[in-house]
Amino acid sequence: MTDHASFPIPCDPLTVAYLRMAGDACAFIETNTSHAVPDLLAALHSHGRQPADVLYVVVTHAHLDHAAGASALMQACPNAMLLAHPRAARHMIEPAKLIAGATAVYGETRFAELYGTISPIPAERVRALADGEAFTLGSAKLRVWHTAGHANHHMVIHDPTLDTVYTGDTFGLVYPALQGRGRFALPSTSPTGFDAAEAHKSIDRVLALGTKTVSLTHYGPWPDLSEIAGQLHRFIDLAESWVVMAAAGNEGAEAITDRLKTAWHEAIAAEGDRRDLGFDEASFRLLALDIDLNAQGLAFAAHARRAVAAATVQRSASPSP
């Protein structure tokens, strides 16, 4: 029997969760949606463990492709405690706002198809973790670090025993199907929390932990942290330049989004050509959703920045009392 191990569990073509085992004690890191719960439990059984052995369900943040399955998984694992960033924990206890926001976008039928059922998790089964706080799994001590940039309710989980970090969306997207001719990493700037300065800080914080691998939700364990980080930093700088330009203009959100979809496509194609990565139509079909979401996130950031600038001008123009 392996005392310490981490197993990636495919949830969909773009996402994995992790089963972290430490002797008889287990934890799930990330949950995907409620539709993935049977696969997570099947993986648990395949390694000779039972739902009662699961001590923790950990989510890196509250975005639904990471946490929508948390309530169903908690219902299946009677001894588990949910661990989350404080700002994410409140949404796990009271998910009404998350549900309402996604339902407004997709409609009830499509929401159910995508995410399944999301129920409140009893507050006594949720533990909010402060920056730098640790939790124990068997003989392993894992520690969380808050990493804003993708979202202000995001954290990563450092696992020194296995020399890895479970990075959620902090360390970008590294899809196995795109790695045939060389490493390709893309940041996630999806709605609505993109902050370039914080994204850079978060990447550097992961690097500073000095682990052998990073364990990405989108997806899988990868060893070449410096190469991945360098690509993410370059793309984030480019994305920030687009936000600055959009914030200075007067385009509406839809127009900005459409223009930035094209910009992302062209930037990815240029990177692929420069490094002879062999990207083709299938590659861009795989990236289509992320390109759309990344463009939406940058459009949101540009509009938010424009609103702040307008409010500042208005205050400065107002007569003093």
CA distance 82 to 16: 18
- Cross-strand bridge partners of residue 127: 83
DSSP, res 219: T
Query: What CATH number has the domain spanning 4-223?
Result: 3.60.15.10
Question: Which H or E element spans position 81?
Answer: strand 81-84
Q: 288: helix, coil or strand?
A: helix
Both tokens of 243, joined, read 């936000």
Please report, for the chain, the start and end positions of each structural domain, with discontinuous segments joined by +: 4-223, 227-317
* 16 and 177 Cβ atoms separated by less than 8 Å: no
How many C-alpha atoms does 276 have within 13 Å on its Cβ side? Answer: 0
Please report, in tens digits, the pLDDT of each residue of the chain (321 residues total): 458 999 999 999 999 999 999 999 999 999 999 999 999 999 999 999 999 999 999 999 999 999 999 999 999 999 999 999 999 999 999 999 989 988 887 888 998 999 999 999 999 999 999 999 999 999 999 999 999 989 999 999 999 999 999 999 999 999 999 999 999 999 999 877 789 999 999 999 999 999 999 999 999 999 999 999 999 999 999 999 999 999 999 999 899 999 999 999 999 999 999 999 999 999 999 999 999 999 999 999 999 888 887 676 666 666 655
Q: Is 255 left (phi over 0), alpha (psi -120 to 50) or beta?
A: alpha
Kindly write down the DSSP assignment for every residue of 135-204, as one continuous string: EEETTEEEEEEE--SS-TT-EEEEETTTTEEE-TTTT-B--GGG-TTS---B----TT---HHHHHHHHH
- Cross-strand bridge partners of residue 22: 4, 25
CB atoms < 10 A from the CB of 267, how many?
18
